Amino acid sequence: MTTKTLTTGTVAAEATAAEADSHPAPYVHGYSDTEAQRLGDQADTLAELLHAGTVYPAGSRVLEAGCGVGAQTAHLLAASPGVLLTAADVSAESLAQARARIAGVAPSARVVWHHGDLHRLPFPDGTFDHVFLCFVLEHLPDPAAGLAALRRVLRPGGTITVIEGDHGSAFFHPETPAARRTIDHLVRLQAGAGGDALLGRRLYPLLTAAGFADVTVRPRTVYADGGRPALVDGFTLRTFVAMVEAVRAEALAAGLTTPEAFDRGIAELRRAAGPGGTFHYTFFKAVAVNP
């Protein structure tokens, strides 16, 4: 596999010249500018919740697998300045956005950008001290194979940190059948694409089956109501509802619903962000060791 080196400001970038032969499931949320904005809103709103406790020593060799548009990368670098980060993603377009984002917020960060499939990383065994991935396994047809590929490039004694959501943990008030069905459309679409929007609950067995040791999984819960307006706006509306709303065209094309039913479900889901509304969601964060 041939590579070429690019430079953006003071951030080094490496991109593969060819795609890998096998790909993850299609990214059900798409690659629009709206989705990139949603990912940024999500990362900024949940930074303290999701990144708390994830700190790597300066000089550590860290791999972020599936960095996307760099929304989580920015917070990873902020928490661990001085790391030697390799950020990898299968989408060249997303990597370009990630490079631009990091050049703006952390121009002195030492980052190598790798364009390629995480199943076929061109790095020697044990290259990295730590591996970090957030909202990636849910999009893989075989997350166990993805974890095995990442374990290969992680040194013995190195750690892996995995963060995933679980749409089955979405509880809200007022809840209606139409709103619940609209969320279920997203779950079904992601399953049809080969992913799993309910993967958070499976992190422990996936990591242990992949050969990792000392696996610890902890829930990270978001709860938003009228007393937490920043979370209502940043998470309920701009993260969760926006994510569900974005699959309207795909749900209609798949024959899962009608325009009127989908729009009614979104309108009723939005009531969880209105007066008297509440919204609950659980993320799962796992940390494990390569023995």
Q: Helix %, strand %, coil % for the chain, to 5? A: 45, 25, 30
Picking from 95, 101, 102, 100, the residue whose alpha carbon sits closest to that of residue 117 is 95
Alpha-carbon distance 286 to 48, whole Å?
16
Task: Give the residue among 254, 274, 273, 262 at the shortest CA–CA distance from 180.
Answer: 262
- pLDDT per position as a tens digit, 156-204: 999 999 999 999 999 999 999 999 999 999 999 999 999 999 999 999 9
Nearest-Å Rg of the Cα atoms of the chain is: 19
First-last CA distance in the chain: 29
Task: State residue 79 phi and psi, 5-degree precision.
Answer: -80, -25
HSE (side-chain half, CA atoms, 13 Å) at 93: 7
For the segment 210-234, what is each residue's pLDDT rounded down to a tens digit? 999 999 999 999 999 999 999 999 9
Model pTM score: 0.88
Confidence of residue 52 (pLDDT cuts 50, 70, 90): very high
Question: Does the pLDDT value for residue 28 go beyond 70?
Answer: no
pLDDT value at 37 more than 90: no
> How do residues 231-255 score in pLDDT, each as one tens digit?
999 999 999 999 999 999 999 999 9
Q: Please give the pLDDT value at position 285.
A: 98
**Is 50 exceeded by the pLDDT of residue 22?**
no
- pLDDT tens for 66-102 read 999 999 999 999 999 999 999 999 999 999 999 999 9
> Which of the four pLDDT bands, split at 50, 70 and 90, describes residue 133?
very high
